[in-house]
Amino acid sequence: MPFLGKDWRSPGWSWTKTDHGWKRIVFFGHELEDNNKDIDLKELCSDDNENLFVGEVCELANTKRKKEFYNNNTKSQFVFRDKWIYVQKESTKERHGYCTLGEALNRLDFSSAIQDLRRFNYVAKLFQLIARSQLTSLSGAAQKNYFNILEKIVRKVLVDHYNPRLVKELLQDLSSTLHSLTIHVGRCVLVGNVNIWFNRLETIVKWQQELNNMQIPKQMYSGMTFNDLPLHMQSKILCKLSDACDIINLGQATPTLHILSENKTLWKKLCQFHFSDKPYCRSLGLTRNDNVDWKLMYYTLQKHYPMKEQYGDTLHFCKHCSILFWKDFGHPCTANDPDSCLMPISPQHFIDLFRF
């Protein structure tokens, strides 16, 4: 006789023995229990409310009420805070359905990732790519989560003054996309009431004004400063910067830094870092020709080739398990040599994983 359960691979329910018989155990998660200690079964099933619920029916009502209480008292409606997810692109006997970009955005813990400076630029760049082309592919819940995390990104920049230029570009791309979708394309491509999207547009404009009016306080140090370092050490620090805008902005601080920022060797190394693997650059003899204005060469190549992306920490994909995860937290891999199966995932590659 066939098994008629919902999933024949299900491990089943957990039960505990009490004085009144066996009772099924329902897990809510640590975060849910901590936020709902003041809710008990007597409050939910009292005579004034719903005394008709008995047994398992009352237990299900208790579960539902606890979830609603959690959702109404938190800005984000998601309990998932996973460190890894299984990327599924088709249905199999073991798993039904597939994993979408919105589901990955909901389940991976990006809210905590932006608090880590190694991952902040990665998450901001990912959100910028989503704002440019993938916003309409997100579900309504994923879009809500997207704007909740985006607000945390803006607040972190306003408090810590960390990389405001990247977040300004993100908000500008998002504003252009929403303006095009609400005005030119039409309302049919957006999930939810169009008034909600107009309110989000107004919020984005307010964030942009706050970032433009942000004043970075002058830090007062009594010890050694950057200008006190020897010139060769200042030059080596400049060579560690991979963004041309950072080099130019630093060169505007003092006349000495301006001279160091115009060094031909500095811009040559910057060209080699970003474009040395391009066929066109190899044909120019990028590493041999010294009679080249390397600063002009950098901006010329930038128009034709994408720059190499560099992040302190990125998501990784296990080709053996098809699992996407933060490397620091790891994942339950069954391969004999797990390190050989790992592949770092850039923000663009992250989006490409969920193209079907």
HSE-CB of 215 using CA atoms within 13 angstroms: 2
Please determine, for residue 210, whether its predicted confidence score (pLDDT) is greater than 60: yes
Over range 111-133, report the average pLDDT: 90
Q: Is the predicted pLDDT of residue 206 greater than 90, yes or no?
A: yes
Query: What's the 3-state SS for the chain?
Result: CCCCCCCCCCCCCEEEEECCEEEEECCCCHHHHHHCCCCCHHHHCCCCCCCCCCHHHHHHHHHHHHHHHHHHCCCCCCCCCECEEECCCCCCCCCCCCCCHHHHHHHECHHHHCCCHHHHHHHHHHHHHHHHHHHHHCCHHHHHHHHHHHHHHHHHHHHHCCCHHHHHHHHHHHHHHHHHHHHHHCCCCCCCCHHHHHHHHHHHHHHHHHHHCCCCCCCCCCCCCHHHCCHHHHHHHHHCCCCHHHHHHHHCCCHHHHHHHCCHHHHHHHHHHHHCCCHHHHHCCCCCCCCCCHHHHHHHHHHHCCCCCCCCCCEEEECCCCEEEECCCCCCCCCCCHHHHEEEECHHHHHHCCCC
Give backbone dihedrals phi and psi of 92, rounded to 5 degrees, phi first. Answer: -130, 180
Residue 306: C-alpha distances to residues 96, 167, 189, 207, 297 (Å): 38, 19, 30, 28, 14
Confidence (pTM): 0.69
Give the model's confidence band at 356: pLDDT under 50 very low, under 70 low, under 90 confident, else very high.
Answer: low
Tell me what pLDDT residue 29 has: 45
CA–CA separation, 266 vs 168, rounded Å? 27
The least confident of 8-12, 16-20, 98-102 is 8-12
User: What is the distance between the alpha carbons of residues 272 and 277, in angstroms, rounded to a whole number?
Assistant: 8
Mean pLDDT for the stretch of residues 213-240: 82
Highest mean pLDDT: which range of 21-35, 59-73, 146-160, 246-260: 146-160
Across 202-206, 272-276, 279-283, 339-343, least confident range: 279-283
Q: How many residues make up the chain in this entry?
A: 356
Question: Residue 146: what pLDDT?
Answer: 93
- Going from N- to C-terminal start, the domains of the chain cover 103-213, 243-304, 315-345
Range in 58-67, 142-151, 219-228 with the lowest mean pLDDT? 58-67
Chain mean pLDDT for the chain: 76
What pLDDT is attached to residue 191?
77
Least confident of 93-97, 137-141, 270-274: 93-97
Residue 82: its pLDDT value, please? Answer: 64
- Match 């790891």 to its residue by tokens: 330
> Across the strands, what pairs with 315?
326, 345
- At residue 52 the predicted structure's pLDDT band, cuts being 50, 70 and 90, is very low
Residue 187's pLDDT band, with cuts at 50, 70 and 90, is: low
Q: Between these two residues, 242 and 175, which has the higher pLDDT value?
A: 175
**What pLDDT shows up at residue 203?**
93
Average pLDDT over residues 175-186: 78
Give the mean model confidence (pLDDT) for residues 178-207. 80
* Section 237-241 average pLDDT: 87
> For residue 269, what are the CA distances in angstroms to 103, 242, 265, 272, 273?
40, 10, 6, 5, 6
Distance of alpha carbon 120 from alpha carbon 267, whole angstroms: 26
**Is residue 204 very low, low, confident or very high in pLDDT (cuts 50, 70, 90)?**
very high
pLDDT of residue 19: 82
Single out the residue of 166, 147, 169 nearest to residue 157, CA to CA.
166
Confidence of residue 322 (pLDDT cuts 50, 70, 90): confident
The single residue listed with the structure tokens 């099924």 is: 24
Confidence at residue 209, expressed as pLDDT on a 0 to 100 scale: 93
Query: What is the mean predicted confidence (pLDDT) over 108-120?
Result: 87
**What is the reported pLDDT for 130?**
92
Q: Which of 9-18, 235-244, 299-308 has the lowest mean pLDDT?
A: 9-18
